[in-house]
Amino acid sequence: MTQSAYPQSDNATMAELDPTDSRKPVPMRTLAAKPVDPESSGPAIRMKNLNAWYGDFQALHDVTLDIPANRVTSFIGPSGCGKSTLLRWLNRMNDTIPSAKAIGDVRLGDTDLLARTTDVVDLRRRIGIVFQRPNPFPKTIFDNVAFGPRLHTRMTKSQLHDVVEWSLRKAAVWEEVKDRLKSPALGLSGGQQQRLCIARAIAVGPEVLLMDEPCSALDPASTLAIEDLIFELRNQYTIVIVTHNMQQAARCSDQTAFFFEGKLIEAGLTTGVFTKPKRKQTEDYISGKFG
State the residues that interact with another protein by CB under 8 A: 91, 93, 96, 98, 121-125, 128-129, 131, 133, 135-139, 147-148, 151-152, 184, 186, 197, 200-201, 204
User: To the nearest whole angstrom, how small is the minimum distance from the Cβ of residue 124 to another protein?
Assistant: 4
Nearer of residues 141 and 267 to another protein, judged by Cβ: 141
User: To the nearest whole angstrom, how small is the minimum distance from the Cβ of residue 120 to another protein?
Assistant: 8
Nearer of residues 190 and 289 to another protein, judged by Cβ: 190
| DSSP structure class, residue 94 | G
User: Closest Cα partner for 31 from 70, 85, 3?
Assistant: 70
User: To the nearest whole angstrom, how small is the minimum distance from the Cβ of residue 244 to another protein?
Assistant: 19
**Consecutive H or E run containing 267:** strand 263-269
SS3 label, residue 103: strand
| DSSP structure class, residue 140 | B
User: To the nearest whole angstrom, how small is the minimum distance from the Cβ of residue 97 to another protein?
Assistant: 10
If you write DSSP's letter for every residue of 48-87 in order, what string do you get? EEEEEEETTEEEEEEEEEEEETTSEEEEE-STTSSHHHHH
- Phi, psi (degrees; rounded to nearest 5) at 137: -70, 150
Nearer of residues 59 and 146 to another protein, judged by Cβ: 146
Nearer of residues 83 and 125 to another protein, judged by Cβ: 125
Through-space distance between the first and last CA atoms of the chain, rounded to whole angstroms? 49
Which residues are registered as beta bridge partners of 140? 184
Nearer of residues 93 and 246 to another protein, judged by Cβ: 93
User: To the nearest whole angstrom, how small is the minimum distance from the Cβ of residue 276 to another protein?
Assistant: 36
User: Closest Cα partner for 236 from 91, 72, 102?
Assistant: 72
